[in-house]
Structure 1
């Protein structure tokens, strides 16, 4: 993964929270940036598992025990999804490197019912992370986020939620390898 925190974050980039960020919504989080434009930014926290299963949210999919993640603190009554591989849904947005965001939900629902989806290559989220115009750039400037281009060489985005933050930093090498081992609260070290 290439680190590019001096550049503007773009769709498909990862935002990795700095080691000592105390915001409960983003502690040790990895956010996939899905959109960043003059109106603001939209992303999904990749490593915050919710207590819900997909079948509890969508009546037609009540048989599904698929995990659902907390995409962020905004509009937690909305469902979002990303998937990896070839485009399988009309309207999906290509984030690069075989990663897709959203798309026709009725199509997805039918594919899930017919067991035509590899559940290891899709992730569902309630809510999202949002930034108003210029807000994300300010947070990056304040070193709240480490920006890294997602290159898919290790397909880490679908790794264990518990280890994702650490794995991505280690994979970035250099000073980031050391950050991966920082304690959450350095006073306890």
Structure 2
């Protein structure tokens, strides 16, 4: 796939060259890609902590995901309920980012929005202009389209599933341990 094909809704799958950091075996949803840079969220790494631990006014057991290394003092959310959350930004079909926080709080607390309709992240991934392009040239990422229900597939084995789907040389890494010295 061409480097120019990065857009909102693109999925980045970390290549094994990205090791020993937050991006190792990560899957990232791109929510913004413009001349001034790119923004995305890691979608396959749970903190195993509920949102209510981070935001006491949100009464839910929905887990928070490790969104990325930037701005880890804030909670972000993607969802598929723009009808309940005003000012949501469309990322792809049935995938929205952000929106009015008060709407989120009300929708979650009143159980109008289900756990499989919203995902919370702490922090985000950010790239300066051309940084992501350079990482692609360095073969750090595979690019794929968002062709699955992002709200149903946030499992820890999502990286392996996508590497299998991408096929080719990626298949060699599917059963390799994250730390090859442990093989």
TM-score w.r.t. the length of structure 2 is 0.90
Query: More displaced, 40-49 or 166-175?
Result: 166-175
The answer on whether the counterparts of 1:97 and 1:151 sit within 8 Å (CA) in structure 2 is no
Question: Structure 1 5/16 Cα, relative in aligned 2: closer, same or farther at 3 Å?
Answer: farther
1:157, distance to aligned residue in structure 2 (A): 5.2
Residue deviations 1:119-164 (CA, integer Å, cap 9, x gap):
1221100100101111111001101111111122xx2553243211
1:6, distance to aligned residue in structure 2 (A): 3.9
The answer on whether the counterparts of 2:82 and 2:88 sit within 8 Å (CA) in structure 1 is no
Question: Structure 1 122/16 Cα, relative in aligned 2: closer, same or farther at 3 Å?
Answer: same
The corresponding residue for 2:103 is 107
User: For the residues of structure 1 that align with 2:81 and 2:104, how far apart are their CA atoms?
Assistant: 14
The corresponding residue for 1:57 is 54
Q: Which runs of 5+ in 2 are unaligned?
A: none
TM-score w.r.t. the length of structure 1 is 0.87
User: For the residues of structure 1 that align with 2:81 and 2:2, how far apart are their CA atoms?
Assistant: 27
Residue deviations 1:85-109 (CA, integer Å, cap 9, x gap):
6653211111112111111111111
The corresponding residue for 2:31 is 34
The corresponding residue for 1:150 is 146
1:177, distance to aligned residue in structure 2 (A): 3.5
User: For the residues of structure 2 that align with 1:156 and 1:25, how far apart are their CA atoms?
Assistant: 20
Residue deviations 1:6-50 (CA, integer Å, cap 9, x gap):
434111001110024214111100000000111111010001111
User: For the residues of structure 2 that align with 1:177 and 1:88, how far apart are their CA atoms?
Assistant: 41
| Alignment: residue pair count | 183
Tell me the C-alpha RMSD between the 2 structures. 2.0
Q: Which runs of 5+ in 1 are unaligned?
A: none
User: For the residues of structure 2 that align with 1:142 and 1:32, how far apart are their CA atoms?
Assistant: 19
Residue 69 of structure 2 corresponds to residue 73 of structure 1: yes
